[in-house]
Amino acid sequence: MINNSQGMTGQILSRMRLPFRILQTHLLQKEKPLVVLLYLTDRCNLKCQYCVGHWSGRKIPDPTLVDVKSWIDQFVKMGTCHITVHGGEILLREDVGEIIDYMKFKGLYVNLVTNGILFPEKHKEIKNVDSLCISLDGRETANDANRGKGSHKKILAAIDTALQEGFNLSVHSTLTSNNYGEIEWLAQRAKKYGYSQQFSLLLKPFSECNQMVALSDSDIRKVLERILKLKKEGYPIFTSEGNLKNALKWPFPYEKAILGKAESAAHPELIPCYYGKLKVTVDTSGNVIPCAVLNNSFPAKNIRDVGFKKAYQHVIENRPCDRCYFLTSADWSLLLGLSPKMYWEQIKIQLKQIITR
């Protein structure tokens, strides 16, 4: 069951658009913000220990619908064709359906990330998304230690609804000392129910709140080896093999997560980053930054003050880093860098998703 009106042919064409545009930018040697990660609320109905940016504590008001539509128009004018909608918890916005429909009207491929708590009651409002990511960190004890008591049952209900309604689903898990024993269970569940499983490591250097659930360097390497083994055994692990190997061969302690341009030159074997080149992040305040990891450190320009074009150019000229081991970021960098192995992995994943839907 396909949950929107595109049909199989439309789904294939929609997914081919980004690779074509990536190839075009490489051939023309011209950088464009092809992908935007858009945070539209800092509000959240969970209190995860490892919250990526700890943005919910900022209490920044949501951008208005007028703001959001204006931003989308500017993205499209600059060449954006793929957008990921994020929070906080995006489904807390009453106008989320109107936002998604406007993005689709503008021709964008839309991925939506949710914790799943409100999904069963609001899924019809976002039926036109192209792909959906729901967060689940393992069985009840492990998941609820990370994400809050009672969240596990609600997340499983969300995943069930997404599968029943034919959403193009992936499930994402952030690995901590609470749930690193859940990797096999998560992979087995993904295989059983027919969705893709993604994994992330905590972002370092650690904040005070996620320091308590951090994995040691030796545990991180063991975790990566286990995920790689499962992937080679045929489990539907979305995280790419090249990405996992990149993190395993990281030549520094994992506390040193980001390399600047000078350091990167000495390590050409590591995946070069395309964030801040072909992909940028716009946070709830309207700041345009290379990626979420830098939300508290990058001297951003704001889209409200200078417009998206100037804010994006500022990112291009001032992006401070060139390589990292963050799993989600490295997968995107492989894709944006035209890695043949990454594209082959993605073709197999995407075709399977379309056919099974």
Give the pLDDT band (50/70/90) at residue 5. Answer: very low
Instruction: Give the C-alpha separation, 239 to 135, whole Å.
Output: 15
Bridge partners, 112 (sequence order) = 85, 132
Structure-model confidence comparison of residues 41 and 295, the more confident one: 41
- Strand, helix or coil for residue 343: helix
The residue length of the chain stands at: 357
Assigned token pair, 82: 């793929």
Classify domain 7-356 at the CATH topology level.
Answer: TIM Barrel (3.20.20)
> Is 252's pLDDT higher than 50?
yes
**CA nearest neighbour of 42 among 208, 253, 287, 273:** 287
Instruction: Give the C-alpha separation, 47 to 44, whole Å.
Output: 7
| Predicted pLDDT at 292 | 87
Domain parsing of the chain, residue ranges: 7-356
Structure-model confidence comparison of residues 237 and 346, the more confident one: 237
Q: CB of 288 within 8 A of CB of 310?
A: no
| Predicted pLDDT at 77 | 98
Q: Give the mean pLDDT of the chain.
A: 90
Q: What is the pLDDT of residues 53-95, one digit of tens each?
A: 555 567 789 999 999 999 999 999 999 999 999 998 999 999 9
Q: H-helix or E-strand containing 27? A: helix 7-28
Assigned token pair, 315: 């990112």
| Predicted pLDDT at 293 | 84
> Is 1's pLDDT higher than 50?
no
Instruction: Give the C-alpha separation, 24 to 42, whole Å.
Output: 35
CA angle 237, 274, 67 (to 5 degrees): 95
Mean pLDDT of 193-209: 81
**CA nearest neighbour of 183 among 227, 229, 247:** 227
Mean pLDDT of 137-145: 97
* CB count in 10 Å sphere of residue 47: 11
Of the given ranges (97-111, 185-199, 202-216), which has the lowest mean pLDDT? 202-216
Q: What is the pLDDT of residues 300-343, one digit of tens each?
A: 999 999 999 999 999 999 999 999 999 999 999 998 998 877 76
> Is 208's pLDDT higher than 80?
no
Instruction: Give the C-alpha separation, 291 to 298, whole Å.
Output: 9
Q: CB of 190 within 8 A of CB of 170?
A: no
Assigned token pair, 205: 């250097």
